[in-house]
Amino acid sequence: MRSLFENWQRVVILLAVFLLCIGCSNTPSVSNNPWKVITLPTESNLQDIAFTDNNHGWLVGSKATLLETTDGGETWQPIALDLGEQNYLFSSVSFTGQEGWIVGEPALLLHTTDGGKSWEQIPLSEKLPGNPNTVVALGANSAEMTTDVGAIYRTTDSGRTWKAMVQEAVGVVRNIARAADGSYLAVSAKGNFYSIWKPGQEAWEGHNRNSSRRVQNMGFAPDGRLWMLARGGQVQFSKQDNLDEWEEAKYPEFSTSWGLLDLAYRTPEEIWVAGGSGNLLCSFDGGKTWQKDRDVESVPSNLYKIVFLSPKKGFIVGQRGILLKYQESSATA
């Protein structure tokens, strides 16, 4: 009996050592941390960020959170809107010049033409499939809006009327992204397939995921390729000459227990990937090799979204009012 107990004891110890080892990261650290934590007057979960110019910007999030900056994102002030007693989630904000849009749920559309000095709530049809989840300002009086079931609409009259761009919604989606040419990419809620829509098409084109791993997020690379984040810390890029074929998957931090949530390009070669528990990774060679920004690990937040407004201006929005601002240095310039 004693021998059996000792054997089990050895097994438990070896298993603990094994789990500790696979949890260790061999990913090299970045030589310089370019991200600064910005203190905000909120603990809401942030969703999106947009600017009217280099200094004037807006942050949106849960609990009808709306924050304004006039100094390039160094300081932010809360803005209260009279929207009644409904507790809205502001999910997306977009500007072209002084004209801006905010969408959220339950079905909400806000519009401004004076840089946000005043906001008008525009009624949405009760027949709208799903809740609005993204909006993109396209120019004077024009915008595109998507919903959480993959419906796409365009307005050219300041939101008074909306034209359906697809005949049928794609189903509940977890993420949806827009390319510069107006194409859209949507990941299904279960992460088991994705769909692509191109301007002029009547319906989405469905695509099966390329492995058994659940897809977390997808988007368009600057060179027209697709990128994919999957469970288990997997990053993958499609081939440039065939979007249905994929390059070999990369694991920036092998055997990681936290999920990858978003990816963004600062330059054609510099890529940042954000994830749960304050994890942030970077590639300086287009995704071939990866480094980790360990100075951000102490940030107590899941990092939801990375937005680069230009190579010199970027932000990461996160959980519980966490905002990171990119600070360019000679090491990353």
Alpha-helical regions (H) of the chain = 2-23
Specify the residue for token string 């390319």. 179
Provide the pLDDT for residue 9. Answer: 60
Provide the pLDDT for residue 253. Answer: 86
Q: CA-to-CA distance for 41 and 59, rounded, in angstroms?
A: 12
Provide the pLDDT for residue 26. Answer: 84
Provide the pLDDT for residue 240. Answer: 87
CA distances from 289 to 174, 234, 240, 280, 282 (A): 28, 13, 19, 14, 9
Provide the pLDDT for residue 50. Answer: 98
Q: CA-to-CA distance for 174 and 188, rounded, in angstroms?
A: 6
Provide the pLDDT for residue 25. Answer: 59
Provide the pLDDT for residue 258. Answer: 74
Residue 207: both structure tokens together: 């695509």
Taking the C-alpha atoms of 329, 264, 132 and 110 in order, what is their torsion angle to the nearest 10 degrees? 20
Provide the pLDDT for residue 16. Answer: 44
Tens-digit pLDDT string for the chain (333 aa)? 555 545 556 544 444 433 444 345 589 999 999 999 999 999 999 999 999 999 999 999 999 999 999 999 999 999 999 999 899 999 999 999 999 999 999 999 999 999 999 999 999 999 999 999 999 999 999 999 999 999 999 999 999 999 999 998 899 999 999 999 999 999 999 999 999 999 999 999 999 998 899 999 999 999 999 999 999 999 999 998 898 899 999 999 865 657 899 999 999 999 999 999 999 999 999 999 999 999 999 999 999 999 999 999 999 999 999 999 999 864 444
Contact present, 307 and 315 (Cβ < 8 Å) = yes
Q: Would you call 152 helix, strand, or coil by DSSP?
A: strand
